[in-house]
Copies of this chain bind each other. A is one copy, B any other.
Amino acid sequence: MSVNEVWSIDPRTGREIKLVAASTSTAEVGAVAAAAWMAERELVGFGRAARAGLLRRLAAALEGRSDKLIRVADRESALGAPRLNAELARTIGQLRLFADTVQDGSYQEIVTTPALTDLDPPMPDLRRMLIPVGPVVVFGASNFPFAFSVLGGDTAAALAAGCPVVVKCHSGHPETSVLTMEAWRQAAAETGAPEEAVQLVFGRTAGRQLVQHPSIKAVAFTGSLAVGRELHDLAAGRPDPVPFYGELAGVNPLVVTPGAARDRGEEIGGSVVASFTLNGGQFCTKPGLLFVPAGPDGDRVVATAGERVAELQPAVMLTAGTQSSYQAGLQALVDHPHTRTVARVPDVIAGGASGQGGSGGYLGTPALLEVMIGDLDQSVLNECFGPVAVAVRYESIGQVIDVLEQLEGSLAAAVHTTEPEAELATALTKAVLPKVGRVVYNGFPTGVAVTAAMTHGGPWPATTNALHSSVGPTSIRRFLRPVTFQNAPQAVLPAELRDLDEPVRG
Protein backbone atom coordinates (compact mmCIF):
# COMPACT_ATOMS: atom_id res chain seq x y z
CA MET A 1 0.00 0.00 0.00
CA SER A 2 1.66 3.21 -1.17
CA VAL A 3 1.22 6.35 0.90
CA ASN A 4 -0.83 7.84 -1.88
CA GLU A 5 -3.22 4.94 -2.22
CA VAL A 6 -6.47 5.01 -0.29
CA TRP A 7 -7.62 1.45 0.35
CA SER A 8 -10.84 0.19 1.78
CA ILE A 9 -9.95 -2.26 4.56
CA ASP A 10 -12.06 -4.92 6.24
CA PRO A 11 -11.54 -4.50 10.00
CA ARG A 12 -12.84 -8.03 10.61
CA THR A 13 -9.84 -9.44 8.76
CA GLY A 14 -7.44 -6.53 8.44
CA ARG A 15 -7.34 -7.14 4.69
CA GLU A 16 -7.20 -4.49 1.95
CA ILE A 17 -10.32 -5.01 -0.12
CA LYS A 18 -10.35 -2.29 -2.72
CA LEU A 19 -8.28 0.64 -3.94
CA VAL A 20 -10.72 3.54 -3.69
CA ALA A 21 -8.74 6.66 -4.48
CA ALA A 22 -5.41 8.42 -4.37
CA SER A 23 -4.54 10.97 -1.73
CA THR A 24 -5.50 14.43 -2.89
CA SER A 25 -2.45 16.30 -4.14
CA THR A 26 -1.49 19.85 -3.22
CA ALA A 27 -2.51 21.06 -6.67
CA GLU A 28 -5.87 19.33 -6.34
CA VAL A 29 -6.42 20.90 -2.90
CA GLY A 30 -5.97 24.30 -4.51
CA ALA A 31 -8.51 23.45 -7.19
CA VAL A 32 -10.95 22.11 -4.60
CA ALA A 33 -10.66 25.27 -2.49
CA ALA A 34 -11.15 27.45 -5.57
CA ALA A 35 -14.23 25.45 -6.54
CA ALA A 36 -15.61 25.80 -3.01
CA TRP A 37 -15.09 29.55 -3.23
CA MET A 38 -17.01 29.64 -6.51
CA ALA A 39 -19.74 27.42 -5.09
CA GLU A 40 -20.17 29.89 -2.23
CA ARG A 41 -21.09 32.56 -4.74
CA GLU A 42 -23.51 30.24 -6.50
CA LEU A 43 -25.16 29.22 -3.26
CA VAL A 44 -26.07 32.87 -2.58
CA GLY A 45 -28.38 32.70 -5.57
CA PHE A 46 -29.53 29.23 -4.54
CA GLY A 47 -31.82 30.58 -1.83
CA ARG A 48 -33.54 29.15 1.19
CA ALA A 49 -36.37 27.31 -0.55
CA ALA A 50 -33.90 25.74 -2.97
CA ARG A 51 -31.58 24.70 -0.14
CA ALA A 52 -34.45 23.11 1.75
CA GLY A 53 -35.38 21.22 -1.41
CA LEU A 54 -31.78 20.12 -1.89
CA LEU A 55 -31.59 18.76 1.66
CA ARG A 56 -34.81 16.78 1.13
CA ARG A 57 -33.51 15.40 -2.15
CA LEU A 58 -30.32 14.40 -0.43
CA ALA A 59 -32.31 12.53 2.19
CA ALA A 60 -34.21 10.72 -0.56
CA ALA A 61 -31.03 9.96 -2.50
CA LEU A 62 -29.51 8.35 0.60
CA GLU A 63 -32.70 6.42 1.24
CA GLY A 64 -32.60 5.07 -2.30
CA ARG A 65 -29.09 3.74 -1.72
CA SER A 66 -29.57 2.49 1.81
CA ASP A 67 -29.09 -1.22 1.19
CA LYS A 68 -25.81 -0.75 -0.60
CA LEU A 69 -24.63 1.98 1.79
CA ILE A 70 -25.23 -0.24 4.80
CA ARG A 71 -23.58 -3.23 3.20
CA VAL A 72 -20.46 -1.28 2.31
CA ALA A 73 -20.34 0.62 5.61
CA ASP A 74 -20.64 -2.60 7.57
CA ARG A 75 -17.82 -4.15 5.58
CA GLU A 76 -15.66 -1.09 6.29
CA SER A 77 -16.64 -0.44 9.93
CA ALA A 78 -17.89 -3.77 11.32
CA LEU A 79 -20.54 -1.80 13.19
CA GLY A 80 -23.25 -4.22 12.08
CA ALA A 81 -26.38 -3.72 10.01
CA PRO A 82 -28.83 -2.90 12.84
CA ARG A 83 -26.69 -0.06 14.17
CA LEU A 84 -25.88 1.22 10.68
CA ASN A 85 -29.53 1.10 9.72
CA ALA A 86 -30.37 3.26 12.72
CA GLU A 87 -27.49 5.60 11.99
CA LEU A 88 -28.47 6.04 8.36
CA ALA A 89 -32.06 6.71 9.42
CA ARG A 90 -30.77 9.36 11.80
CA THR A 91 -28.64 10.88 9.06
CA ILE A 92 -31.61 11.03 6.71
CA GLY A 93 -33.75 12.48 9.51
CA GLN A 94 -31.11 15.13 10.18
CA LEU A 95 -31.17 16.25 6.57
CA ARG A 96 -34.95 16.60 6.71
CA LEU A 97 -34.74 18.44 10.05
CA PHE A 98 -32.32 20.93 8.55
CA ALA A 99 -34.59 21.29 5.52
CA ASP A 100 -37.36 22.31 7.94
CA THR A 101 -34.96 24.62 9.78
CA VAL A 102 -33.98 26.38 6.56
CA GLN A 103 -37.54 26.63 5.37
CA ASP A 104 -38.75 28.00 8.71
CA GLY A 105 -36.09 30.71 8.55
CA SER A 106 -36.04 31.75 12.20
CA TYR A 107 -32.47 30.44 12.41
CA GLN A 108 -31.52 33.63 10.57
CA GLU A 109 -32.27 35.58 13.77
CA ILE A 110 -33.65 38.55 11.95
CA VAL A 111 -33.98 41.68 14.06
CA THR A 112 -35.01 44.99 12.57
CA THR A 113 -35.26 48.26 14.45
CA PRO A 114 -36.86 51.19 12.63
CA ALA A 115 -35.31 54.62 12.29
CA LEU A 116 -36.07 57.09 15.08
CA THR A 117 -35.19 60.39 13.51
CA ASP A 118 -36.25 62.60 16.40
CA LEU A 119 -33.71 61.09 18.81
CA ASP A 120 -30.35 62.80 19.39
CA PRO A 121 -28.34 61.22 17.87
CA PRO A 122 -31.02 59.82 15.54
CA MET A 123 -31.38 56.06 15.45
CA PRO A 124 -30.88 54.65 11.95
CA ASP A 125 -32.95 51.93 10.36
CA LEU A 126 -31.11 48.70 11.24
CA ARG A 127 -31.75 45.23 9.83
CA ARG A 128 -29.76 42.30 11.10
CA MET A 129 -29.58 38.70 9.97
CA LEU A 130 -27.20 35.76 9.99
CA ILE A 131 -25.40 34.91 6.76
CA PRO A 132 -23.12 31.98 5.85
CA VAL A 133 -19.47 32.21 6.99
CA GLY A 134 -18.13 30.71 3.76
CA PRO A 135 -16.62 27.36 2.74
CA VAL A 136 -16.30 24.80 5.55
CA VAL A 137 -14.05 21.77 5.90
CA VAL A 138 -15.67 18.78 7.58
CA PHE A 139 -13.51 15.91 8.81
CA GLY A 140 -15.38 12.62 8.66
CA ALA A 141 -15.37 10.66 11.93
CA SER A 142 -14.35 7.00 12.07
CA ASN A 143 -17.14 5.97 14.42
CA PHE A 144 -20.11 7.40 12.50
CA PRO A 145 -19.65 6.57 8.81
CA PHE A 146 -22.98 8.25 8.06
CA ALA A 147 -24.05 10.62 10.84
CA PHE A 148 -20.68 12.38 11.29
CA SER A 149 -19.26 11.85 7.85
CA VAL A 150 -19.77 12.95 4.23
CA LEU A 151 -23.45 13.93 4.54
CA GLY A 152 -23.61 13.86 8.33
CA GLY A 153 -24.66 16.54 10.79
CA ASP A 154 -21.79 18.95 10.15
CA THR A 155 -22.29 18.89 6.39
CA ALA A 156 -26.08 19.17 6.72
CA ALA A 157 -25.73 22.16 9.06
CA ALA A 158 -23.19 23.89 6.82
CA LEU A 159 -25.22 23.33 3.66
CA ALA A 160 -28.35 24.49 5.44
CA ALA A 161 -26.49 27.65 6.42
CA GLY A 162 -25.50 28.17 2.77
CA CYS A 163 -21.85 27.16 3.10
CA PRO A 164 -20.10 24.87 0.62
CA VAL A 165 -18.41 21.89 2.24
CA VAL A 166 -15.18 20.07 1.57
CA VAL A 167 -15.22 16.72 3.35
CA LYS A 168 -11.95 15.15 4.36
CA CYS A 169 -12.68 11.45 3.97
CA HIS A 170 -11.98 9.29 7.01
CA SER A 171 -9.54 6.58 6.05
CA GLY A 172 -11.73 4.03 7.85
CA HIS A 173 -14.57 4.17 5.33
CA PRO A 174 -13.47 5.54 1.96
CA GLU A 175 -15.77 3.35 -0.11
CA THR A 176 -18.79 4.39 1.96
CA SER A 177 -17.73 8.00 1.48
CA VAL A 178 -17.45 7.70 -2.28
CA LEU A 179 -20.81 5.97 -2.41
CA THR A 180 -22.33 8.74 -0.29
CA MET A 181 -20.99 11.28 -2.76
CA GLU A 182 -23.09 9.59 -5.45
CA ALA A 183 -26.17 10.53 -3.45
CA TRP A 184 -24.88 14.10 -3.30
CA ARG A 185 -24.30 14.28 -7.04
CA GLN A 186 -27.75 12.90 -7.74
CA ALA A 187 -29.44 15.43 -5.46
CA ALA A 188 -27.34 18.29 -6.82
CA ALA A 189 -28.24 17.34 -10.40
CA GLU A 190 -31.94 16.99 -9.54
CA THR A 191 -32.10 20.42 -7.90
CA GLY A 192 -29.58 22.36 -9.97
CA ALA A 193 -27.37 22.97 -6.96
CA PRO A 194 -23.70 23.62 -7.72
CA GLU A 195 -22.02 20.21 -7.74
CA GLU A 196 -18.94 21.64 -6.01
CA ALA A 197 -21.00 22.63 -2.95
CA VAL A 198 -19.88 19.27 -1.53
CA GLN A 199 -16.46 17.88 -2.45
CA LEU A 200 -14.45 14.98 -1.08
CA VAL A 201 -10.70 14.92 -0.47
CA PHE A 202 -8.42 12.14 0.75
CA GLY A 203 -5.40 12.09 3.02
CA ARG A 204 -4.11 13.88 6.09
CA THR A 205 -1.95 16.28 4.12
CA ALA A 206 -4.94 17.51 2.14
CA GLY A 207 -6.85 17.97 5.40
CA ARG A 208 -4.08 20.02 6.96
CA GLN A 209 -3.70 22.13 3.84
CA LEU A 210 -7.40 22.90 3.70
CA VAL A 211 -7.51 23.96 7.37
CA GLN A 212 -4.92 26.56 6.46
CA HIS A 213 -6.36 27.58 3.10
CA PRO A 214 -7.52 31.23 2.86
CA SER A 215 -10.78 30.22 1.16
CA ILE A 216 -11.82 28.01 4.07
CA LYS A 217 -13.72 29.91 6.75
CA ALA A 218 -14.52 27.24 9.37
CA VAL A 219 -13.59 23.68 10.26
CA ALA A 220 -15.61 20.89 11.87
CA PHE A 221 -13.76 17.89 13.21
CA THR A 222 -14.61 14.79 15.21
CA GLY A 223 -11.67 12.65 16.23
CA SER A 224 -8.79 12.15 18.58
CA LEU A 225 -7.36 14.69 21.00
CA ALA A 226 -3.93 14.53 19.36
CA VAL A 227 -5.11 15.18 15.80
CA GLY A 228 -7.76 17.64 16.98
CA ARG A 229 -5.21 19.66 18.92
CA GLU A 230 -2.92 19.77 15.91
CA LEU A 231 -5.66 20.96 13.56
CA HIS A 232 -6.99 23.43 16.14
CA ASP A 233 -3.55 24.96 16.39
CA LEU A 234 -3.27 25.19 12.61
CA ALA A 235 -6.65 26.96 12.37
CA ALA A 236 -5.79 29.34 15.24
CA GLY A 237 -2.33 29.99 13.84
CA ARG A 238 -3.49 31.14 10.40
CA PRO A 239 -2.78 34.74 9.39
CA ASP A 240 -6.58 34.99 9.60
CA PRO A 241 -7.65 32.47 12.27
CA VAL A 242 -10.95 30.68 11.61
CA PRO A 243 -13.32 28.88 13.98
CA PHE A 244 -12.37 25.27 14.61
CA TYR A 245 -15.18 23.12 15.97
CA GLY A 246 -13.58 19.96 17.25
CA GLU A 247 -15.04 17.12 19.26
CA LEU A 248 -12.08 15.43 20.86
CA ALA A 249 -12.21 13.46 24.10
CA GLY A 250 -13.79 12.96 27.49
CA VAL A 251 -14.41 10.35 30.18
CA ASN A 252 -18.15 11.11 30.57
CA PRO A 253 -18.41 10.44 34.32
CA LEU A 254 -21.34 8.42 35.62
CA VAL A 255 -22.29 8.50 39.28
CA VAL A 256 -24.31 5.83 41.06
CA THR A 257 -25.59 7.24 44.34
CA PRO A 258 -25.83 5.04 47.45
CA GLY A 259 -29.61 4.92 47.09
CA ALA A 260 -29.46 3.92 43.44
CA ALA A 261 -26.87 1.22 44.18
CA ARG A 262 -29.11 -0.12 46.93
CA ASP A 263 -32.39 -0.02 44.97
CA ARG A 264 -31.23 -0.79 41.43
CA GLY A 265 -27.67 -2.01 41.73
CA GLU A 266 -27.97 -5.05 39.51
CA GLU A 267 -30.05 -3.28 36.88
CA ILE A 268 -27.54 -0.42 36.67
CA GLY A 269 -24.57 -2.79 36.63
CA GLY A 270 -26.06 -4.65 33.69
CA SER A 271 -27.18 -1.63 31.70
CA VAL A 272 -23.95 0.29 32.10
CA VAL A 273 -22.06 -2.52 30.37
CA ALA A 274 -24.43 -2.31 27.42
CA SER A 275 -23.68 1.43 27.30
CA PHE A 276 -19.88 1.32 27.55
CA THR A 277 -19.36 -1.69 25.29
CA LEU A 278 -21.97 -0.80 22.63
CA ASN A 279 -20.29 -0.90 19.21
CA GLY A 280 -16.95 -1.55 20.81
CA GLY A 281 -17.34 1.42 23.15
CA GLN A 282 -16.48 3.63 20.21
CA PHE A 283 -18.69 6.56 21.16
CA CYS A 284 -17.67 10.07 22.18
CA THR A 285 -20.35 9.74 24.86
CA LYS A 286 -19.19 6.41 26.28
CA PRO A 287 -19.34 6.48 30.09
CA GLY A 288 -15.73 5.71 31.01
CA LEU A 289 -15.61 6.54 34.70
CA LEU A 290 -18.24 4.98 36.97
CA PHE A 291 -18.48 6.26 40.52
CA VAL A 292 -19.86 3.42 42.62
CA PRO A 293 -20.19 3.41 46.42
CA ALA A 294 -17.90 1.20 48.47
CA GLY A 295 -19.65 -1.55 50.39
CA PRO A 296 -22.02 -4.37 49.49
CA ASP A 297 -24.52 -2.32 47.39
CA GLY A 298 -21.73 -1.01 45.23
CA ASP A 299 -20.13 -4.47 45.13
CA ARG A 300 -23.33 -5.73 43.57
CA VAL A 301 -23.15 -3.08 40.82
CA VAL A 302 -19.55 -4.00 40.04
CA ALA A 303 -20.07 -7.74 40.26
CA THR A 304 -23.09 -7.67 37.94
CA ALA A 305 -21.21 -5.49 35.47
CA GLY A 306 -18.20 -7.78 35.64
CA GLU A 307 -20.35 -10.84 34.93
CA ARG A 308 -21.88 -9.10 31.92
CA VAL A 309 -18.47 -8.12 30.55
CA ALA A 310 -17.20 -11.67 30.94
CA GLU A 311 -20.06 -12.92 28.75
CA LEU A 312 -19.00 -10.67 25.84
CA GLN A 313 -17.04 -11.46 22.72
CA PRO A 314 -14.19 -9.17 21.66
CA ALA A 315 -15.38 -6.23 19.59
CA VAL A 316 -14.10 -5.55 16.11
CA MET A 317 -12.65 -2.06 16.30
CA LEU A 318 -13.00 0.48 13.51
CA THR A 319 -9.39 0.76 12.42
CA ALA A 320 -5.94 -0.64 13.16
CA GLY A 321 -5.07 2.64 14.88
CA THR A 322 -8.13 2.56 17.11
CA GLN A 323 -7.37 -1.01 18.05
CA SER A 324 -3.76 -0.42 18.91
CA SER A 325 -4.40 2.69 20.97
CA TYR A 326 -7.26 0.96 22.74
CA GLN A 327 -5.27 -2.11 23.59
CA ALA A 328 -2.34 0.02 24.77
CA GLY A 329 -4.64 2.21 26.87
CA LEU A 330 -6.35 -0.83 28.34
CA GLN A 331 -3.04 -2.47 29.17
CA ALA A 332 -1.90 0.71 30.92
CA LEU A 333 -5.08 0.69 33.01
CA VAL A 334 -4.61 -2.99 33.84
CA ASP A 335 -0.97 -2.40 34.76
CA HIS A 336 -1.79 0.62 36.94
CA PRO A 337 -0.57 -0.25 40.44
CA HIS A 338 -3.92 0.56 42.07
CA THR A 339 -6.46 -0.85 39.65
CA ARG A 340 -8.06 -4.25 39.87
CA THR A 341 -9.26 -5.97 36.71
CA VAL A 342 -12.81 -7.05 37.44
CA ALA A 343 -13.31 -8.68 34.05
CA ARG A 344 -11.42 -8.79 30.78
CA VAL A 345 -12.46 -10.69 27.72
CA PRO A 346 -9.70 -12.72 26.01
CA ASP A 347 -8.73 -11.38 22.60
CA VAL A 348 -9.93 -14.41 20.71
CA ILE A 349 -13.33 -14.85 19.12
CA ALA A 350 -14.58 -18.33 19.82
CA GLY A 351 -13.25 -20.33 16.87
CA GLY A 352 -12.00 -17.14 15.23
CA ALA A 353 -8.94 -15.00 14.74
CA SER A 354 -6.63 -13.40 17.29
CA GLY A 355 -6.25 -9.64 17.36
CA GLN A 356 -2.61 -9.80 18.32
CA GLY A 357 -1.30 -11.87 15.46
CA GLY A 358 -0.99 -11.17 11.79
CA SER A 359 -3.91 -13.31 10.79
CA GLY A 360 -6.87 -11.46 12.10
CA GLY A 361 -9.13 -8.50 12.52
CA TYR A 362 -8.89 -5.49 14.77
CA LEU A 363 -10.12 -7.02 18.00
CA GLY A 364 -10.73 -4.89 21.06
CA THR A 365 -11.34 -6.72 24.31
CA PRO A 366 -14.10 -5.44 26.62
CA ALA A 367 -13.00 -4.91 30.19
CA LEU A 368 -14.08 -3.51 33.54
CA LEU A 369 -11.59 -2.23 36.08
CA GLU A 370 -11.94 -0.97 39.61
CA VAL A 371 -9.99 1.54 41.67
CA MET A 372 -10.45 3.11 45.11
CA ILE A 373 -11.20 6.82 44.81
CA GLY A 374 -8.19 7.75 46.93
CA ASP A 375 -5.90 5.99 44.45
CA LEU A 376 -7.02 7.93 41.38
CA ASP A 377 -4.45 9.75 39.33
CA GLN A 378 -4.53 11.48 35.94
CA SER A 379 -3.59 8.32 34.03
CA VAL A 380 -6.90 6.76 35.09
CA LEU A 381 -8.81 9.94 34.23
CA ASN A 382 -7.84 10.08 30.56
CA GLU A 383 -10.25 8.79 27.97
CA CYS A 384 -9.58 5.26 26.73
CA PHE A 385 -11.62 5.04 23.51
CA GLY A 386 -13.05 1.54 23.36
CA PRO A 387 -15.06 -1.01 25.38
CA VAL A 388 -13.67 -0.34 28.87
CA ALA A 389 -14.83 1.49 31.98
CA VAL A 390 -13.26 2.06 35.36
CA ALA A 391 -15.41 1.76 38.47
CA VAL A 392 -14.25 4.28 41.06
CA ARG A 393 -15.28 3.17 44.52
CA TYR A 394 -16.11 6.00 46.92
CA GLU A 395 -16.90 6.32 50.63
CA SER A 396 -18.73 9.64 50.48
CA ILE A 397 -20.34 11.89 47.87
CA GLY A 398 -17.94 14.62 49.02
CA GLN A 399 -15.09 12.56 47.57
CA VAL A 400 -16.96 12.20 44.28
CA ILE A 401 -17.58 15.93 44.10
CA ASP A 402 -13.89 16.62 44.73
CA VAL A 403 -12.92 14.39 41.82
CA LEU A 404 -15.63 15.77 39.52
CA GLU A 405 -14.31 19.28 40.14
CA GLN A 406 -10.84 18.17 39.01
CA LEU A 407 -12.03 16.49 35.81
CA GLU A 408 -11.53 17.96 32.36
CA GLY A 409 -14.55 18.58 30.16
CA SER A 410 -16.82 15.86 28.78
CA LEU A 411 -19.77 15.79 26.43
CA ALA A 412 -22.04 14.27 29.05
CA ALA A 413 -22.34 13.05 32.59
CA ALA A 414 -24.87 10.69 34.12
CA VAL A 415 -26.32 10.54 37.61
CA HIS A 416 -28.16 7.46 38.83
CA THR A 417 -30.10 8.43 41.92
CA THR A 418 -33.36 8.02 43.81
CA GLU A 419 -36.14 10.44 44.63
CA PRO A 420 -35.32 10.88 48.34
CA GLU A 421 -31.74 11.86 47.44
CA ALA A 422 -32.77 15.23 45.95
CA GLU A 423 -30.19 17.21 47.90
CA LEU A 424 -27.38 14.89 46.94
CA ALA A 425 -28.47 14.86 43.29
CA THR A 426 -28.50 18.66 43.32
CA ALA A 427 -24.98 18.81 44.76
CA LEU A 428 -23.74 16.36 42.11
CA THR A 429 -25.44 18.38 39.38
CA LYS A 430 -23.73 21.56 40.57
CA ALA A 431 -20.36 19.83 40.61
CA VAL A 432 -20.68 18.27 37.20
CA LEU A 433 -22.40 21.06 35.27
CA PRO A 434 -19.23 23.18 34.76
CA LYS A 435 -17.61 20.16 33.09
CA VAL A 436 -20.20 18.96 30.60
CA GLY A 437 -22.74 19.90 27.96
CA ARG A 438 -25.40 17.42 29.11
CA VAL A 439 -26.42 15.69 32.31
CA VAL A 440 -28.43 12.48 32.05
CA TYR A 441 -30.42 11.21 35.02
CA ASN A 442 -31.04 7.52 35.62
CA GLY A 443 -29.89 6.75 32.12
CA PHE A 444 -26.84 6.56 29.92
CA PRO A 445 -25.16 9.21 27.79
CA THR A 446 -24.78 7.01 24.70
CA GLY A 447 -27.67 7.73 22.37
CA VAL A 448 -28.02 11.38 21.36
CA ALA A 449 -31.48 12.60 20.38
CA VAL A 450 -31.47 15.01 17.45
CA THR A 451 -33.64 17.87 18.71
CA ALA A 452 -33.35 21.60 19.35
CA ALA A 453 -33.12 20.83 23.07
CA MET A 454 -30.00 18.68 22.64
CA THR A 455 -26.51 19.86 23.53
CA HIS A 456 -23.72 17.79 22.07
CA GLY A 457 -20.83 19.90 23.23
CA GLY A 458 -18.92 20.82 26.33
CA PRO A 459 -15.73 22.33 27.74
CA TRP A 460 -12.31 21.34 26.41
CA PRO A 461 -11.34 18.63 25.56
CA ALA A 462 -14.93 17.47 24.98
CA THR A 463 -14.98 20.14 22.31
CA THR A 464 -12.74 23.01 21.29
CA ASN A 465 -15.56 25.53 21.71
CA ALA A 466 -18.15 25.01 24.43
CA LEU A 467 -20.48 27.65 22.96
CA HIS A 468 -21.89 25.27 20.39
CA SER A 469 -23.68 21.97 19.91
CA SER A 470 -22.75 19.75 16.98
CA VAL A 471 -26.09 17.93 17.06
CA GLY A 472 -29.54 19.37 16.42
CA PRO A 473 -30.73 22.47 14.57
CA THR A 474 -28.77 24.86 16.82
CA SER A 475 -25.57 23.40 15.33
CA ILE A 476 -26.22 25.57 12.26
CA ARG A 477 -24.99 28.57 14.28
CA ARG A 478 -21.41 27.42 13.90
CA PHE A 479 -21.56 28.34 10.25
CA LEU A 480 -23.37 31.68 10.38
CA ARG A 481 -22.31 35.19 11.27
CA PRO A 482 -24.37 38.33 11.84
CA VAL A 483 -24.47 41.31 9.51
CA THR A 484 -26.41 44.55 9.79
CA PHE A 485 -27.71 46.76 7.01
CA GLN A 486 -28.00 50.39 8.08
CA ASN A 487 -30.41 52.70 6.23
CA ALA A 488 -30.23 50.37 3.26
CA PRO A 489 -32.25 50.98 0.10
CA GLN A 490 -34.76 48.18 -0.49
CA ALA A 491 -33.04 47.02 -3.65
CA VAL A 492 -29.78 45.98 -1.97
CA LEU A 493 -31.43 44.04 0.86
CA PRO A 494 -31.73 40.25 0.95
CA ALA A 495 -35.36 39.26 0.38
CA GLU A 496 -35.78 38.40 4.08
CA LEU A 497 -34.98 41.94 5.19
CA ARG A 498 -37.11 43.91 2.77
CA ASP A 499 -40.24 45.76 3.73
CA LEU A 500 -43.25 43.58 3.11
CA ASP A 501 -45.46 46.36 1.83
CA GLU A 502 -43.16 47.72 -0.85
CA PRO A 503 -42.76 46.13 -4.25
CA VAL A 504 -39.14 45.94 -5.28
CA ARG A 505 -37.54 45.86 -8.69
CA GLY A 506 -33.95 44.97 -9.58
Output the least CB separation between A94 and chain B (Å): 15
B441 touches A506 (CB 8 A): no
CB within 8 A of A438: which of B113, B240, B483? B483
Output the least CB separation between A497 and chain B (Å): 10
Residues of B within 8 A of A242 (CB): 460
B506 touches A482 (CB 8 A): no
Residue A237 is within 8 A (CB to CB) of chain B in the complex: yes
| Interface of A toward B, CB cutoff 8 Å | 44, 109, 111-113, 121, 123-124, 126-128, 131, 133-134, 232-233, 236-237, 240-243, 408-409, 415, 417, 419, 422-423, 425-426, 429-430, 433-434, 436-443, 447, 449, 451-455, 457, 459-461, 464-469, 474, 477-478, 480-489, 491-492, 505-506
Output the least CB separation between A478 and chain B (Å): 8
Given contacts A436-B483, A489-B422, are A460 and B241 in contact (CB under 8 A)? yes
CB within 8 A of A233: which of B111, B237, B240, B415? B237
- The docked-state distance in angstroms from the alpha carbon of A268 to that of B112 is 27
Given contacts A240-B459, A506-B423, are A451 and B483 in contact (CB under 8 A)? no
- The docked-state distance in angstroms from the alpha carbon of A417 to that of B121 is 22
Output the least CB separation between A346 and chain B (Å): 32
- The docked-state distance in angstroms from the alpha carbon of A452 to that of B123 is 13
CB closest residue in chain B, given A134: B434
CB closest residue in chain B, given A131: B433
B460 touches A240 (CB 8 A): yes
Residues of B within 8 A of A491 (CB): 422-423, 425-426
Given contacts A425-B492, A426-B506, A440-B486, are A480 and B467 in contact (CB under 8 A)? yes
A482 touches B455 (CB 8 A): yes
Output the least CB separation between A168 and chain B (Å): 21
Given contacts A452-B113, A492-B425, are A232 and B236 in contact (CB under 8 A)? yes
Residues of B within 8 A of A443 (CB): 124, 486-487
Output the least CB separation between A389 and chain B (Å): 19
Residues of B within 8 A of A461 (CB): 240
Given contacts A455-B482, A455-B484, A484-B437, are A126 and B449 in contact (CB under 8 A)? yes
- The docked-state distance in angstroms from the alpha carbon of A56 to that of B123 is 23
**Ranked 10 nearest A-B pairs via Cβ:** A236-B236, A126-B453, A422-B491, A455-B484, A240-B460, A113-B453, A440-B486, A128-B453, A466-B481, A429-B492
B433 touches A457 (CB 8 A): no
Residues of B within 8 A of A440 (CB): 124, 486-487
Residues of B within 8 A of A484 (CB): 437-439, 453-455
Q: What are 28 A-to-B residue pairs whose CB atoms are below 8 Å? A: A112-B453, A126-B451, A126-B453, A128-B454, A128-B455, A232-B241, A236-B241, A240-B409, A241-B460, A242-B460, A422-B491, A422-B492, A423-B506, A425-B491, A433-B483, A436-B483, A437-B481, A437-B482, A437-B483, A438-B484, A439-B486, A439-B488, A439-B492, A440-B486, A443-B487, A454-B484, A455-B484, A457-B481
